[in-house]
């Protein structure tokens, strides 16, 4: 079993990935990045040298590697009070000025966050008026998100969250169960565009009224968070909203004074200056 990996080796690996595949992990938070690397070495039974060889010689390995490197843990209606604020305050606020609008789920993982939003919008009766963009750097997880099929055992937590969100029905009304798996109604994803997008190296690709980037920047160091928050600022229409994870903050970043804190508990901000 690998006991440790030193900074020089982490540097070699990140530099190789950057040069060969264009992904830039140099500004990911060091401690969690190191833990993930150690996990990959153990899981795949590799040494640092054999990992480097595999990354060099087997271009298809990169997708498998990225899927293990990124933390994809997610759930439907994660932090139910956040979703109540979305439904009762933020989306009604957007609707005051726009009948149709755009939402970006940056770092959507396997899609539970997007499905939660689609269900919320359907229950508000505005599902057809909203375009959703769901992006992630990890193409393996994006394929799972498109399928909207999950292990049935995950539903206990999802359903609990939905009850705390105070949804209109039950989550079972939105999916079918077969062979230990549930598949959600594909109509929920009708207005969703899934695409690969890297928050570190990717360009601004659209303007949005609401951006959700929850539990993603927690894996970035402060410099990178700062750069990504600038991209979100640019990607928002004036008076658009940004929602981040409960353990994340933007009060210290360069663009902080261009946002108003709308809900400090749920980490929702509004762009008030270009």
Ligand X SMILES: C[S@@+](CC[C@H](N)C(=O)[O-])C[C@H]1O[C@@H](n2cnc3c(N)ncnc32)[C@H](O)[C@@H]1O
Q: Smallest distance from the beta carbon of 114 to ligand X, in angstroms?
A: 9
SS3 content of the chain, % helix, strand, coil (to 5): 50, 20, 30
Residues 138 to 197 in contact with ligand X, rule: CB under 6 A: 138, 141
Contact with ligand X (CB under 6 A) among 9, 55, 102, 136 = 136
Question: With left for phi above 0 and alpha for psi between -120 and 50, is residue 63 left, alpha or beta?
Answer: alpha
Contact with ligand X (CB under 6 A) among 64, 68, 159, 198 = 198
End-to-end CA distance of the chain: 52
Residue 39, H or E segment: helix 30-43
The answer to whether residue 109 forms part of the interface with ligand X (CB under 6 A) is: yes
Contact with ligand X (CB under 6 A) among 9, 10, 113, 127 = 113
CB of 14 or CB of 74, closer to ligand X: 74
Could you tell me where the beta strands, DSSP code E, fall in 197-234? 208-213
Site string for ligand X, 202-241 (x = CB under 6 A): ------------xxx-------------------------
The answer to whether residue 107 forms part of the interface with ligand X (CB under 6 A) is: yes
Q: Smallest distance from the beta carbon of 157 to ligand X, in angstroms?
A: 12
Residues 70 to 99 in contact with ligand X, rule: CB under 6 A: 70-74, 78
Residue 71, H or E segment: none
Distance CA 72, CA 60 (A): 20
Count of chain residues binding ligand X (CB under 6 A): 19
> Do the Cβ atoms of 260 and 86 come closer than 8 Å?
no
**What torsion do the CA atoms of 86, 87, 89, 91 make, to the nearest 10 degrees?**
80
Site of interaction with ligand X (CB under 6 A): 70-74, 78, 107, 109, 113, 136-138, 141, 198-200, 214-216
């Amino acid at each position: 079993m690998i006991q440790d990996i030193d900074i020089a080796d982490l540097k070699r690996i990140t530099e190789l990935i950057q040069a060969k595949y264009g992904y830039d992990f140099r500004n990911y938070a060091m401690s969690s990045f190191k833990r993930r690397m150690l996990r990959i070495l153990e899981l795949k039974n590799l040494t640092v040298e054999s990992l480097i060889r595999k990354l060099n010689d087997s271009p298809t390995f990169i997708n498998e590697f990225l899927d293990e490197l990124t933390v994809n843990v997610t759930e439907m209606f994660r932090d139910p009070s956040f979703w109540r604020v979305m439904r009762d305050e933020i989306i009604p606020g957007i609707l005051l000025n726009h009948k149709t609008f755009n939402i970006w789920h940056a770092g959507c993982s396997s899609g539970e966050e997007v499905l939660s939003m689609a269900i919320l919008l359907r229950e508000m009766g505005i599902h057809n008026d909203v375009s959703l963009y769901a992006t992630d750097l990890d193409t393996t997880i994006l394929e799972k998100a498109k399928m909207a099929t999950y292990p049935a055992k995950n539903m206990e937590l999802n359903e609990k969250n939905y009850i705390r969100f105070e949804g209109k029905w039950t989550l079972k009304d939105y999916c079918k169960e077969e062979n230990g798996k549930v598949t959600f109604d594909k109509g929920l994803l009708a207005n969703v565009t899934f695409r690969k997008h890297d928050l570190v190296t990717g360009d601004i690709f659209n303007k949005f009224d609401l951006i959700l980037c929850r539990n993603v920047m927690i894996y970035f160091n402060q410099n990178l968070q700062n750069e990504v928050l600038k991209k979100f600022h640019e990607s928002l229409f004036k008076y658009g909203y940004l929602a981040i994870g409960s353990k994340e903050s933007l009060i210290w970043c360069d663009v902080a004074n261009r946002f108003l804190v709308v809900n400090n508990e749920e980490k929702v901000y509004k762009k008030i200056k270009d």
